[in-house]
Amino acid sequence: MAAEPPVLPGADEARRWAAEELARGEYRDAAPGWLATLWEDLMEWLSSLDGPAEAGNTLPATAIGLVIAAIIAAAVIIARPRLNPKARRAREVFEAGSVVTAAAYRQRAEASAAAGKWGDAVVDRFRALVRSAEDRAILDPQPGRTADEVARDLALPFSTEAQRLDEAAGIFDGIRYGNKAAGSADYGAVASLDSTLEALKPVRRPQEQRGQDHVAPGPAALP
């Protein structure tokens, strides 16, 4: 992250600085999608400011500097939380130290659904799906695992459900961390996926299958 901009940068310095700062890929990647067009418009505007002496450019240099400094500050405010490792870690599926069973998560989800609390229902049902996969030794218990990682890891043993896993992970993140409103359809999608995975036999990778098939030889029989 760049240092804090000077309070009153010169117009030329501010234009150059803003163009370099806002062109960094991490801002575009971290910012919400609706800002992409705004970034492009800002870059085009910055390119059009060739200096205070150009025709049509009536803004004082100090005013231009302040406007551009404000643009940089806004970019930093928007992008910094999304670039912060702590913010990324906060997107984990389970709360720290959670020991709730899959069955208990499903009971909580059903109770929330019955009460019309669809967001809580979705979150708990997705957690039930993950905890069940851990109990079945399909996933290794891993603190800090995110919903995207769950979808990626379960897409290997359940390749036929890869798309639904991606969609469920997106629903979970949108509700849990994106303040997205949930509905009955969201819960139905996650609950249906949970039930489907429970009924499916996972496809083991070749190295896992070889490990299961291998039986250590017993002691040789005495003559």
Tens digit of pLDDT per residue, the chain (223 long)? 555 554 555 556 666 666 666 555 555 554 445 455 666 666 666 666 555 444 445 555 566 666 666 666 666 565 555 455 444 445 889 877 778 999 999 999 999 999 999 999 999 999 999 999 999 999 998 888 999 999 999 999 999 999 999 999 999 999 988 878 899 999 999 999 999 999 999 997 655 554 444 444 444 444 4
Q: Which domain holds residue 40?
A: 11-83
| pLDDT at site 53 | 45
**pTM (2 d.p.):** 0.56
| pLDDT at site 103 | 96
- Looking at the domain assignment, is residue 79 inside a domain? yes
| pLDDT at site 168 | 96
- Residues 201, 174 within the same domain: yes
CA torsion sign, 44 to 49 to 55 to 57? Answer: positive
Closest CA to 152 of 136, 137, 168, 141: 168
Q: How far apart, in whole angstroms, are the C-alpha atoms of residue 18 and residue 109?
A: 48
Q: How far apart, in whole angstroms, are the C-alpha atoms of residue 32 and residue 77?
A: 12
DSSP string, 62-95: HHHHHHHHHHHHHHHHHHHHHH-HHHHHTTBSSP
- Looking at the domain assignment, is residue 176 inside a domain? yes
- Residues 118, 199 within the same domain: yes
- Residues 110, 78 within the same domain: no
Q: How far apart, in whole angstroms, are the C-alpha atoms of residue 223 and residue 204?
A: 40
SS3 state at 41 = helix
- Looking at the domain assignment, is residue 3 inside a domain? no
- Looking at the domain assignment, is residue 180 inside a domain? yes
Number of domains in the chain: 2
- Looking at the domain assignment, is residue 52 inside a domain? yes
| pLDDT at site 138 | 95
- Residues 110, 188 within the same domain: yes
- Looking at the domain assignment, is residue 130 inside a domain? yes
